[in-house]
Chains A and B, each alone.
Chain A
Amino acid sequence: MESGQIFNLVPWIVFLPLIGLAVNILLGRRLGETFSGVVASLASGLTFVVAVLLAAALASAPNARVVSPWEWISIGELTVRWAFRVDTLSVVMMLVVSLVGTLIHVYSIGYMHNDVRHNGDPGRYTRFFIFMNLFIAAMMILVSADNFLMMFVGWEGVGLCSYLLIGFWYEKGKNGTGNADAAKKAFITNRIGDFGLLIALFLIFGYFGSLQFDEVFSQAANVAAAHPGVMLLITLAMLLGVTGKSAQIPLFVWLPDAMAGPTPVSALIHAATMVTAGVYLVARSTAFYSVVPVAQTVVIWVGTLTALLAATIALGQYDIKKVLAYSTISQLGFMVAAVGMGAMVAGMFHLVTHAFFKGLLFLAAGSVIQGMERGMHGSHGSAETDPQDMRNMGGLRKKMPLTYWVYLIGGLALSGIAPLAGFFSKDEILGAAYNGHAAVFALLVITAFLTAFYMGRQLVMVFFGKPFTAAAEHASESPRVVTIPLIILALLSVLGGVLNLPGVHTLEHWLAHTLGEGEPAGFIWLVAGLSFFLALLGLGAAWFIYSRRVQKAEADDPLKKPLGALFTGMEHKWWVDEFYQALILNPYKAFAQFMADPVDLGVIDRVGGGLAAGTRTLAEGLRKLENGYVRSYALWMVVGLLAIMMYLFLS
C-alpha cells in the first residue's frame, strides 16, 4: 500500500472500537466472558496497529494530512467537516491511547473476571468492555479531530464514558449511592469546564469565522492584535475546560472521587488518557497561547499550584488509589505548567511517560487490591477489612513478588529516579522552569521531592514490614492475564525515556513538524542532579519514617505527631470539598429550595390553581342555566330576540 493510501485508514481508529462494541452488544452476553474480553481487546489492539501504520507513514512524510470523509454540518457560514487530522502530535496521542488502552483491556479480562464476582453481578462483565471500547472510540475522535467541534464531540464522549464507568457499580458505595454520587460529581464538574470550552468555541467561531484548526491558528496573531481582550477570553475560557477535564485547580475535586470506578478505569481514563486531554488541547492550541502572555502565566500558575497542592494531599491519604489519584492530579499539574511555559514537547513527553508509569501503578494497585480480596476470602473468619486501605497491607513484597517489582518500577519512574522514564520527562519540565520561571521552578522542585516521598511512603506501607491484617497475610499473586500487561507497562516505564533522550530529542524533532521548530531544551546538569538527589532523599526519608512505624493496622500516621495540624489538613484534603460545599453547593441548594418552595409552589402553582378554581366557579354558575326544561330555553331565546330587537331599534 502506498503511504498516501495509508492515511485513508485513519477513520478505522474510530470504527474498529465501534465495531468491537457493536459485536459485544449483539453477541457478548451470549458468548461469554472470554469472548467479550477478547473482542474488545482485539478492537483496541487493531486500533493500535492502525496508529502504528499511520506513524510509520508519517515518519517518511511528516507534514499533516487531513482525511475528510464527510461533510458534517453546513449551516450558513458554518461549515464543519467530519475530518480526521493525522499529524505528528495527534499520532503520538493515538499511539499512547491505543497502546495503553489495549494493555488495560487485556488486563481487564482477568481483573473484571474477579471484580464482577467480588461485587456479585457477573452479568455486568460484557457491559464493562462495551463502555471501554466506547471510550477508546471517543478518545480517538478527540485526538484525531481536525476542528474544534469534532474535538468537542470526543471531549464530551470521553466525559460520558468516564461517568458511565465511575458509576459502573452504581448501587454500591457509601449509603448505596456513593459510586453514583461520585459519577455525578465527575460529570457535573466536567460540565462546568465544558461550559468554558463551549464559550471559547463560540468566540472562536465568532471572531475567526471557522472552527478548522489550520484556518483558526493561522489567524491567531491577527486576531490577537485586533482584539486582545477576546483572545484573552478565549484562552482563559479554554483553560476552564482544561481545568475540568485535566483535574486542575479549581475543578480537580472530581478525580479523587472518580476512583469509585473499577481500577482499570482509573488507570485508562483517570490517569493515562482522558485526563491528559486538557494538556493535548493546550498543546494543540499553541498558536493561541503563544500570543497571549497573560494566559500563559495563568496556565503556568494553575498547573504549578495544582501540582503542589495535590502532592501535599497525596501525603495524607491512606487509600492506595486515592494516593495515586492525587499523584495524577499533581503530575497533570506538571504537564499543564509545562505547556503553559511553552515547553509543549516537555509536556507531551511527560504525558506519554506518565501514561506508561501511572497506568502501570494503577493496574498494579488493582492487582494489590485483588490480592487483598483473595486474602480476605482465604482467611476464613477474619473481620471485613478494607482491601484498599494501605494501613491494612504491609509485607506484600513476599506474597505478590511480581506485582511488587512492577510497582517498584512504576514508583521509581514516578519519583524521577534515573534512568527510568519519569526522570527524563520531569527533568525537561524542571529545566524549562529553570530557564526563566524561578518561583515556578522552586515550587515544582518541592513537588518533585514530595512526589518521591509519598511514593516511598506508599511502597513501604504496602510492600514492606510485616502483614498487618489477615487479608494481607493471605494475599496471593494475580493470574498471568493480569501480570503480563503489567510487565509490558513496566518495560515501557523503564524505556520510555528513550523517546526524548537529552541530546537526541527524538520526540522534539517528531513534534516539531506540528508544533513548530523550537530550541531543544539543553540538559542542565544542575537541575537533573538536584531532582535526582531530591528523589533519592524523598524515597530515603519515606523509608526512614515509615519502615519503623507502629506495626498495627489503622495506626496513626507517623507524620501526624510532628506535623500536627498540617498533616490533618493533608488528611482532609485541605477541606476543599467542604469549602465548595459551603461556598457554592449550599447557597445553590438554598436557592433551588427558594425557587421550588416560595416561587414555584407559592406563585406559579397558585396562579395556575387560581385559574382552574375560577373556571370551576364560573362553570358552577353557568350550569344552573342548563336546567333541562325546554320552555326555559325557549324563554331565553325570546329574551335574546327581544334584546337584539331593542338594540336594532335603539341604534
Chain B
Amino acid sequence: MFPVVYPIILAVILFSLGIVGVLLRKNAIVILMSLELMFNAANLVFITFANYYQNLDGQVFIIFVMVTAAAEVAVGLALIVDIFRSKKTISIDEMHSLKG
C-alpha cells in the first residue's frame, strides 16, 4: 500500500486547480468543468479515507456526490444553453446585470 498522504496531495492539487479554474476562466463550460474537478478532489479524499479506515461510509458518500454533480451539470448546462441563446456568448463576465 502506498502512503495515505499521496492521494491527499493529489486531491489538494486537483482542488486548487479547480479553484484557480473557477476564478480565472471566463468560459462558463470551463468553469463547470473546474467545479467538477473540485468535486472529484473531494471524492478522492473520501475514498482514500474509506480505504484507510476500512469503512464503507466514504464510498457511499461519493455515490451521492456524483449523483448531485450529475444533476448540477444537467441544470448548469441547460442554463448555459439558454444564456447562449439570448446573449450569443457564454463568457461569464458578460453576465453582470444583477449588481448593486
Chain A positions near chain B (C-beta within 8 angstroms): 622-631, 634-635, 638
Contacts and interface: CB of A to CB of B under 8 A. Distances in A.
Given A634-B22, A635-B23, A629 B100 contact: no
Given A630-B92, A630-B95, A625 B100 contact: yes
B76 to A, nearest CB: 12
Contact of A627 (B22, B26, B92, B100): B100
A631 B99 contact: no
A631 B22 contact: yes
A622 B23 contact: no
B82 interface: no
B98 interface: yes
Contacts of A630: 92, 95-96
Interface of B: 19, 22-24, 26, 92-93, 95-100
Nearest to B28: A630
A629 B23 contact: no
Contact of B93 (A626, A631, A635): A631
A638 B99 CA distance: 20
A626 B23 contact: no
B96 A628 contact: yes
A623 B93 CA distance: 18
Nearest to B97: A628
A626 B22 contact: no
A623 B100 contact: yes
Contacts of A624: 100
A631 B26 CA distance: 8
A626 to B, nearest CB: 3
8 contacts: A626-B100, A628-B97, A629-B92, A629-B93, A629-B96, A630-B96, A631-B23, A631-B93
A634 B35 CA distance: 11
A630 B23 CA distance: 9
Given A638-B19, A638-B23, A631 B100 contact: no
A629 B95 CA distance: 7
Given A625-B100, A630-B96, A638-B19, 15 more contacts: A622-B100, A626-B100, A628-B98, A628-B99, A629-B92, A629-B93, A629-B96, A630-B92, A630-B95, A631-B22, A631-B23, A631-B26, A631-B92, A634-B22, A638-B23
Nearest to A624: B100
Nearest to A623: B100
Contacts of B95: 628, 630
B92 to A, nearest CB: 5
A447 to B, nearest CB: 82
Nearest to B25: A631
